[in-house]
Amino acid sequence: MSSIDFATLARRDADDPLAAKRSLFKIPADTVYLDGNSLGLLTHQTAQRVQEVVQAQWGDDAIKSWNLHDWVDLPLSVGNKIAPLIGAEPGQVICCDSISVNLFKALSAALRLQDGRNTVISTADNFPTDLYMVQGLSELLGEQRCQLQLVDEADLLADPQRVIDETTAVVLLTEVNFRTGRRLPMQQLIAQAHAVGALVIVDLAHSAGAMPVALDAWRADFAVGCTYKYLNGGPGAPAFIYVAERHLTQLQQPIAGWFGHAQPFAFDPIYQPSPTVKQMLSGTPSVLAMSAVDAALDAFVDVDLQELRNKSLALSELFLELLEANGLAGSFTCISPSTTAERGSQLSFAHPEAYAICQALIDAKVIADFRAPNYLRVGFTPLYTSYTDIGTAVARLSTIMQQESYRAPRFQQRHAVT
Amino acid sequence: MSSIDFATLARRDADDPLAAKRSLFKIPADTVYLDGNSLGLLTHQTAQRVQEVVQAQWGDDAIKSWNLHDWVDLPLSVGNKIAPLIGAEPGQVICCDSISVNLFKALSAALRLQDGRNTVISTADNFPTDLYMVQGLSELLGEQRCQLQLVDEADLLADPQRVIDETTAVVLLTEVNFRTGRRLPMQQLIAQAHAVGALVIVDLAHSAGAMPVALDAWRADFAVGCTYKYLNGGPGAPAFIYVAERHLTQLQQPIAGWFGHAQPFAFDPIYQPSPTVKQMLSGTPSVLAMSAVDAALDAFVDVDLQELRNKSLALSELFLELLEANGLAGSFTCISPSTTAERGSQLSFAHPEAYAICQALIDAKVIADFRAPNYLRVGFTPLYTSYTDIGTAVARLSTIMQQESYRAPRFQQRHAVT
């Protein structure tokens, strides 16, 4: 039997100032969902909004909806809704495209500001698409204009001044590592970059909606982020991009689509960029997808981000304690930092059978995920993850490990998981 | 009174082999919708599918849906569904991003195949975002690698051999002009381009779903297109991109996101492009938006594209006849070609009061649109536009013109329309 005191967990849930938020979400039946760091859950309001946009807006008002229902303003209005969650004053954030496409824009724009420097520094374990974007731009421009230099995260943290120097054009960092959950000290790294004249692009994929972010205070230059993880915008939902106001006047990005034009509906054959963050728009944005993001963000109304962070860390600490109390801490090697300040909102554990265990957990309705080569990843989403959830998850994991049910043949086959 | 024989129109509708398709769509009440060339209407099946994806897939199965509901295959499966509508064998079309972003990829890839040539030819009246993409890439790469040369459509048609020559790298043409509805002789223009070693990118925004397109037969090199017009995929729905199979082996495009990697879920730090058309993918695609496109395409099952084209032209000829019969042909100058083979699926009319007349029409539930400087544009979507619709539209227009109701102050104010 697992040693979990569910009565105590129920009391913690009762005392949780964010507890009421859980009812906004559709929680899959009997399920502990620890994968909000991959795909956040649906809110009831989002479902209703999508239905309304499809039937009443597109269905009834069709083309008139662009003005009648303010479709045309969605990218900026959603951006302005994201802004306070990432510590940005309004007018610097816009919702559009994917992180990949937005990184291409940000990196091109940043390099253009850094005439004479070509080195883009990133960590070898950054999320691959971030690195691919540098490689794609480097292939297009040539290494004399864009050269990727990969560094070990540990080296960067040990001695940022050795890694980021006067030859660095751009530093591209993801605040929270997707594999290990390690959180980088962005403010310090940005200060170091600026001290030597480098610009910084921050990827907030695993930060936005999970903890306070302070882009303006950090003096970040550009940032990108994801709305389908902690912001619950829906599968493949449009991303966002932040451009610090001080860069807007000299901004130029190459994927210069008509929505980024100063006057899109003038149908001018010559591109004149919008003087605002709208320049970051390219083609016509998906209204269905962006409306879902817009509705999902309402779950953050009145949320104190420090409170959110406190709960995130409390959930992860509880997970670690219960692993220990159930004799599981020995077999699952936590590869996430032990210091809470150095962590995002997830924990990752190395285990030789991580893939099979993850499958067995999913079968037992504990949705975690697997990341190569052998990591079990559990994410904590304070708006809907309860303390009881953590107890249930560890209890089910404990049963799986005791019964060795993950050794069943159906869990052993290895295939791609997203 | 207008002279319109509605009994005859009803008989034409009864005899229309495509008439049954109309019931698949949600037609706004009492409305004649002549703007499917801007935003196609919703099908009932699309509404149902979006609901299912939101509630049963995202809502209940959450992250598991990527495999369980084949979300991960959507871009290619939707591409393969579009392929027969544009004359392409499977494996050459993929659904993703916007036309703008896809043009950036196609143009970068095409220029890379054309080492030593830098001239990109397009028409001055091409849809602006197409031209902006060339300008954005030119700004990024420098004119020695990418230089836009704008030509008059009339000059191109009069003497393609003079316009497209041995210095031409890429010819970027939209088959049907968004403003005038003129349809270019793509097969002939592609043959001329190939004769001098140029590559061709075709924009099918106003073609796909409106008429037969024969990309493979034409030997087009690249194509892009829109799914939210005649394909009814929803506002801002993801676009598509076609790459001729012969180019796939040497393909390289710079917006090299993780979904375009040969093994996206290996999380390899080095980009290795997929050897298939999947290389054209960048970031995570919007599942809601793409599912809507997927469902909408089912309206084309069993549709004979030549029959579709015949009806499209019959509708436009009827519109012209009824204008004439109602004494309106003199005041509306048709700027679309008089020869049906040279037209797309729309008609455009110059009128000094086009903006106000368009507003009055919309007020009378005839949804047309306005394009600068003074054009009234009416689009025909054979799957849901009926012959009776055309009669109703002209009757309402006739009343507006007789009563001069478009002179009402509420129709006079000019603002952006999409």
Determine how β-strand A93-95 pairs with β-strand A119-123: unpaired
Cis omega before residue B160 (within 30°)? no
Q: Which of A25, A222, A228, A355 is catalytic?
A: A228
Pick the CATH number of A70-300 from 3.40.640.10, 3.30.465.10, 3.20.20.140, 3.40.50.300: 3.40.640.10
Average pLDDT over residues B55-69: 97
The neighbour count for residue B299, using CB atoms within 10 Å, is 22
**Do residue A128 and residue B269 have CB atoms under 8 angstroms apart?**
yes
Whether A64 and B261 lie within 8 Å, measured CB to CB: no
CB B206 within 8 A of CB B175: yes
Q: Are A58 and B42 in contact (CB under 8 A)?
A: yes
Residue B1 has pLDDT above 60, yes or no: no
pLDDT at position A115 is 86
Q: How far apart are CA B219 and CA B194, in angstroms?
A: 9
C-alpha span between A218 and A178 (Å, rounded)? 21
Tens place of pLDDT per residue across chain A (418 aa): 457 999 999 999 999 999 999 999 999 999 999 999 999 999 999 999 999 999 999 999 999 999 999 999 999 999 999 999 999 999 999 999 999 999 999 999 999 999 899 999 999 999 999 999 999 999 999 999 999 999 999 999 999 999 999 999 999 999 999 999 999 999 999 999 999 999 999 999 999 999 999 999 999 999 999 999 999 999 999 999 999 999 999 999 999 999 999 999 888 999 999 999 999 999 999 999 999 999 999 999 999 999 999 999 999 999 999 999 999 999 999 999 999 999 999 999 999 999 999 999 999 999 999 998 899 999 999 999 999 999 999 999 999 999 999 999 888 765 544 4
Chain B nearest-CA distance from A319, in A, is 21
pLDDT tens digits for B303-353?
A: 999 999 999 999 999 999 999 999 999 999 999 999 999 999 999 999 999
Q: What is the pLDDT of residue B2?
A: 58
Among all chains, which residue has been given the structure tokens 């990341």? A371
Whether the Cβ atoms of residue B376 and residue B305 lie closer than 8 Å to each other: no
Only one residue has tokens 């507006």, namely B400
* Mean pLDDT, residues B289-300: 98
Query: What is the reported pLDDT for A372?
Result: 85
Residues of B in contact with A54 (CB under 8 A): 42, 46-47, 50-51, 234, 292
CB atoms within 10 A of CB B58: 30
Helix (H, G, I), strand (E, B) or coil at B200: strand
Is A285 in Cβ contact with B286 (below 8 Å)? no
Total length of chain B: 418
Q: Strand A346-350 vs strand A366-367: parallel, antiparallel, or unpaired?
A: unpaired
Number of residues assigned to chain A: 418
Q: Is the pLDDT of residue B103 over 50?
A: yes
Structure tokens at B81: 């569904």
For residues B244-273, give the mean pLDDT: 95
* Cα B156–chain centre separation: 22
Q: Which residue of B has its CA nearest to A35?
A: B63
* CB-nearest partner of B128 from A127, A255, A258: A258
Q: For chain A, what are the domain ranges?
A: 6-42+304-412, 70-300
Q: Which of B140, B148, B150, B355 to mutate to test binding with chain A, by most A CBs within 10 Å of its CB?
A: B140
Cβ atoms of residues A27 and A384 within 8 Å: yes
Distance CA B370, CA B356 (A): 9
pLDDT at position A414: 58
Nearest to A240 by CA among A321, A308, A294: A294
pLDDT score at A417: 46
B45-72: average pLDDT: 97
Closest by CA to B118, choosing from B167, B74, B60, B56, is: B167
Mean pLDDT of B100-115: 97
Confidence band of B410 (pLDDT split at 50, 70, 90) = confident
| C-alpha to C-alpha distance for B412 and A116, rounded to whole angstroms | 53
Chain A nearest-CA residue for B133: A256
Known catalytic residue: A13? no
Q: Cα angle vertex A190, ends A221, A181, to 5°?
A: 105
Give the pLDDT confidence of B366-383 residue by residue, as tens digits. Answer: 999 999 889 999 999 999
- Nearest CB to B131; choose among A61, A131, A269: A269
Enumerate the active-site residues of B. Answer: 127, 203, 228-229, 377
Residues 6+ apart with CB under 8 A from A230: A36, A37, A40, A206, A207, A208, A209, A210, A345, A381
Q: From CA B261, how far away is CA B281, in angstroms rounded?
A: 8
Residue among A286, A367, A378 with most chain B CBs within 10 A, to mutate: A286
Instruction: Name beta bridge partners: A377.
Output: A348, A369
H or E stretch at B224: strand B222-225
β-partners of residue A183 are: A176
Task: Assess contact for B13 and B384: CB atoms under 8 A.
Answer: no
CB atoms within 10 A of CB A19: 16
The phi and psi torsions of A395 (rounded to 5 degrees) equal: -60, -45
Q: Which residues of B touch A370 (CB under 8 A)?
A: none
Chain A hits for B133, Cβ within 8 Å:
255-257
The kind and range of the H/E element at B376 are: strand B375-379
Rounded CA-CA distance B110/B121 in Å is: 13
Amino acid (1-letter code) at residue A294? D
Q: What is the DSSP string of B160-180?
A: HHHHS-TTEEEEEEESB-TTT
> CB B372 to CB A267 under 8 A?
yes
In the numeric block, the tokens 């993918």 are attached to B281
Question: What band does B417 get if pLDDT is binned at 50, 70 and 90?
Answer: very low
Among B65, B71, B129, whose Cβ lies nearest the Cβ of A283? B129
What's the CA gap between B323 and B398, in Å, rounded?
8
Query: What single DSSP character describes residue A84?
Result: G
Residue at token pair 């398709």: B21
Work out the number of other CB atoms within 10 angstroms of the CB of residue B151: 18
Q: Is the peptide bond before A373 cis (omega within 30 degrees of 0)?
A: yes
- Assess whether A127 carries a catalytic annotation: yes
CB atoms within 10 A of CB A217: 12
DSSP code at position A60 = I
Instruction: Dump pLDDT digits (tens) for B126-150.
Output: 999 999 999 999 999 999 999 999 9
CATH architecture of B49-300: 3-Layer(aba) Sandwich (3.40)
**Could you say which of B132, B289, B372 has the minimum Cβ distance to residue A261?**
B132
R_g over Cα of chain B: 22
CA A404/CA A382 separation, integer angstroms: 30
Question: In B114-203, where does DSSP find H-type helix?
Answer: 128-141, 153-158, 160-163, 186-195
Q: In terms of Cα–Cα distance, which of B74, B78, B70, B183 is closest to B123?
A: B183
Q: For residue A389, what pLDDT is reported?
A: 98
Instruction: Give the pLDDT confidence score for residue B414 in this predicted structure.
Output: 58
My answer on whether omega of the bond before B373 falls inside 30° of 0, hence cis, is: yes
- Please pick, among A16, A35, A97, A203, the residue that the annotation labels catalytic: A203
Tokens of A348: 């990752």
Asked whether the beta carbons of A42 and A234 are under 8 A apart, the reply is yes
Name the minimum distance, in Å, from the CA of A102 to any CA of chain B: 9
Mean pLDDT across B107-112: 98
Mean pLDDT of B112-122: 96
CA nearest neighbour of B112 among B124, B122, B120: B120
Q: Say which DSSP state A43 is in.
A: B
CATH code matching the domain that covers B6-30+304-411, chosen among 3.90.650.10, 3.40.50.2300, 3.90.1150.10, 3.40.250.10: 3.90.1150.10
Beta-carbon count within 10 A of A73 CB: 12
Interface-testing mutation among B25, B37, B100, with chain A (most A C-beta atoms within 10 A): B100
Rounded Cα distance between B389 and B374, Å, is 24
- Which residues in chain B are closer than 8 Å to A124, comparing Cβ atoms? 269
Q: Which residues contact B96 (CB under 8 A, 6 or more apart)?
A: B75, B102, B238, B239, B240, B241, B259, B280, B281, B282, B285
Nearest to A372 among B255, B259, B266 (CB): B266
Cα–Cα distance measured from residue A137 to residue A140, given in angstroms and rounded to the nearest whole number: 5
What is the three-state SS of A237-296? CCCEEEECHHHHCCCCCCCCCHHHECCHHHCCCCCCECCCHHHHCCCCCCHHHHHHHHHH
Concerning whether A228 is annotated as a catalytic residue, the answer is yes
Q: Give the residues across from A242 on adjacent strands.
A: A93, A223
Q: Is A349 annotated as a binding residue?
A: no
Report the DSSP beta bridge partners of residue B369.
Answer: B377
Chain A residues with CB-CB distance to B237 below 8 A: 286, 288
Half-sphere exposure of B325 (CA within 13 A, CB side): 14
**Contact A244/B103 with Cβ under 8 angstroms?**
no
> In a mutagenesis test of the B interface, which of A250, A284, A348, A415 is the best target, namely the one with the most B β-carbons within 10 Å?
A284
Closest residue in chain B to residue A103, using alpha carbons only: B255
Which pLDDT belongs to residue B204? Answer: 98
- The pLDDT of residue B389 is above 70: yes
φ, ψ at A349 (rounded to 5°): -130, 135
- Say which of A105, A311, A377, A396 is annotated catalytic: A377
Helical residues (DSSP H) of A116-159, grouped into ranges: 128-141, 153-158
Q: Do A129 and B71 touch (CB under 8 A)?
A: no
Tokens in use for A135? Answer: 């490689």
DSSP state of B24: G
CATH no., domain A6-42+304-412: 3.90.1150.10
Ligand-binding annotation for A399, yes or no, is: no
CA–CA separation, A298 vs A274, rounded Å? 28
SS3 at position B148: strand
- Confidence (pLDDT) at B418: 43
Distance CA B367, CA B353 (A): 16
Q: Is B185 exposed, middle or buried (0-12, 13-18, 19+ CB in 10 A)?
A: middle
